[in-house]
């Protein structure tokens, strides 16, 4: 009787293990099917260049003074090709780059995700493309990377135009990004390959509504804005790694802002629901009291997509400060 009971328990255990394995294999299969579909619908649209941070994907359009555009956490360069590049490419050479791990750039890890490492890779990329002293445009987390570039390469950055930038450490992760908050690299990789992408597919509508608020998510964001590329394990892993890295990197960077010596400007949407405008503006103003500040009424966080004309006008104002002799 006892032996029979143990046999039943053992059978249940084996069945549970096999069921769990089958579920994980199913999730992995779904993950890679969604990724293949996204990549088929949105293939790379630019060129590639090798750097110490891996191979980076970029687009390079227009002629004139150079602009380097750096996207935010979980984003990719289509946040700029959506509308902003078109508004600027008649007068500037505009280069938008997928940050390490993002878009179609090579996968990243904890070391290559560090702000100085990302900045070095981007600097190497623009140098290889023959660019000298660009105006660096950074959106959201791209603002933190842009600030790192100005701190690490002060003689090689003409100025900074920061769009809703992440400047200071925040006390809590915005609700739209909490799925990404994974400190363990091993768990992060496991999540990326199994649960994260199916969950992202289910929760993306609500998360995007928070990111774009108070405005509606554009109907063509999935394709024209590159939103489908978030349905790839690489995208989740890179965004989660970036988020974990920022917890340690940003506090060290804030104390260095006093050494910034380049023309600097910040634009925020008054109703940004991802980053609190006052917190991030004041964190820079304490060290850079002469910086240009513009707060756009009724706008939210996604200025490059939702306010391309206003954003382009702000960038032009910063270009006039960066290169006064050519304005």
For 140, the domain range is 43-171+248-326
C-alpha closest to that of 227 among 245, 249, 212, 242: 212
107 CB contacts (<8 Å, ≥6 apart)? Answer: 54, 101, 234, 237, 238
Cα–chain-centroid distance for residue 308?
18
Q: Are 151 and 253 in contact (CB under 8 A)?
A: yes
Number of C-alpha atoms within 13 angstroms, CB side, residue 166? 25
User: Is 283 part of any domain?
Assistant: yes
Mean pLDDT computed over every residue of the chain: 90
Confidence of residue 23 (pLDDT cuts 50, 70, 90): low
- For 70-120, write each residue's pLDDT tens digit: 999 999 999 999 999 999 999 999 999 999 999 999 988 888 889 999 999
Cβ neighbours around 264 below 10 Å, total: 25
User: Is 304 part of any domain?
Assistant: yes
Indicate if the pLDDT at residue 327 is higher than 60: no
How many residues in total does the chain contain? 327
Burial readout 77-92 (b: 16 or more C-beta within 10 A, e: otherwise): bbbbbbbbbebbbeeb
Calpha distance 126→234 (Å, rounded): 24
User: Is 311 part of any domain?
Assistant: yes
- For 152-166, write each residue's pLDDT tens digit: 999 999 999 999 999
- List residues bridging with 69 in a β-sheet: 96, 137
Calpha distance 65→86 (Å, rounded): 15
User: Is 208 part of any domain?
Assistant: no
Which pLDDT does position 190 carry in this prediction? 87
Confidence of residue 302 (pLDDT cuts 50, 70, 90): very high
224 CB contacts (<8 Å, ≥6 apart)? Answer: 78, 82, 218
User: Is 90 part of any domain?
Assistant: yes
CATH code, domain with 87: 3.40.50.1820
- For 179-192, write each residue's pLDDT tens digit: 888 888 889 898 88
Burial readout 115-148 (b: 16 or more C-beta within 10 A, e: otherwise): bebbbbbbbbbbeebebebbbbbbbbbbbbbbbb
User: Is 161 part of any domain?
Assistant: yes
Number of C-alpha atoms within 13 angstroms, CB side, residue 299? 21
Calpha distance 207→173 (Å, rounded): 13
User: Is 226 part of any domain?
Assistant: no
The domain total for the chain is 1
Name the one residue in this structure whose structure tokens are 């930038």.
165
Indicate if the pLDDT at residue 21 is higher than 70: no
The H-assigned helical ranges of the chain are: 2-41, 78-81, 84-88, 115-128, 141-152, 185-193, 196-212, 221-224, 233-254, 277-285, 303-306, 308-322
User: Is 315 part of any domain?
Assistant: yes
């Amino acid at each position: 009787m006892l032996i029979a009971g143990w046999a039943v328990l053992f059978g249940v255990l084996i069945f549970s293990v096999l069921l769990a394995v089958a579920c994980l294999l199913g999730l992995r299969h779904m993950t890679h099917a969604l990724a293949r579909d996204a990549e088929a619908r949105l293939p790379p649209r630019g060129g590639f260049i090798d750097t110490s941070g891996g191979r980076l994907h970029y687009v390079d359009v227009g002629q004139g003074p150079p602009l380097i555009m750096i996207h935010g956490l979980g984003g990719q360069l289509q946040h700029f090709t959506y509308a902003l590049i078109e508004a600027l490419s008649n007068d500037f050479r505009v280069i938008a780059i997928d940050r390490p791990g993002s878009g179609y750039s090579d996968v990243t890890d904890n070391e290559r995700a560090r702000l100085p490492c990302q900045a070095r890779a981007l600097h190497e990329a623009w140098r290889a493309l023959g660019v000298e002293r660009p105006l660096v445009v950074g959106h959201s987390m791209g603002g933190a990377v842009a600030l790192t570039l100005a701190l690490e390469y002060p003689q090689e950055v003409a100025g900074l135009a920061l769009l809703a930038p992440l400047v200071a450490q925040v006390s809590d992760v915005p609700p739209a990004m909490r799925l990404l908050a994974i400190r363990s690299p091993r768990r992060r990789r496991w999540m990326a390959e199994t649960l994260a992408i199916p969950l992202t597919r289910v929760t993306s509508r609500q998360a995007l509504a928070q990111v774009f608020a108070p405005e509606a998510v554009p109907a063509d964001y999935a394709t024209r804005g590159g939103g489908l590329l978030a349905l790839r394990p690489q995208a989740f892993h890179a965004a989660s790694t970036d988020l974990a890295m920022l917890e340690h990197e940003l506090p060290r960077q804030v104390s260095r802002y006093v050494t910034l010596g380049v023309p600097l400007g910040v634009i925020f949407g008054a109703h940004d629901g991802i980053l609190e405008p006052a917190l991030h503006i004041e964190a820079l103003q304490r060290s850079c009291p002469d910086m240009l500040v513009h707060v756009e009424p009724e706008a939210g966080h996604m200025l490059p997509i939702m306010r391309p004309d206003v954003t382009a006008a702000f960038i032009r104002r910063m270009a006039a400060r960066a290169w006064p002799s050519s304005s």
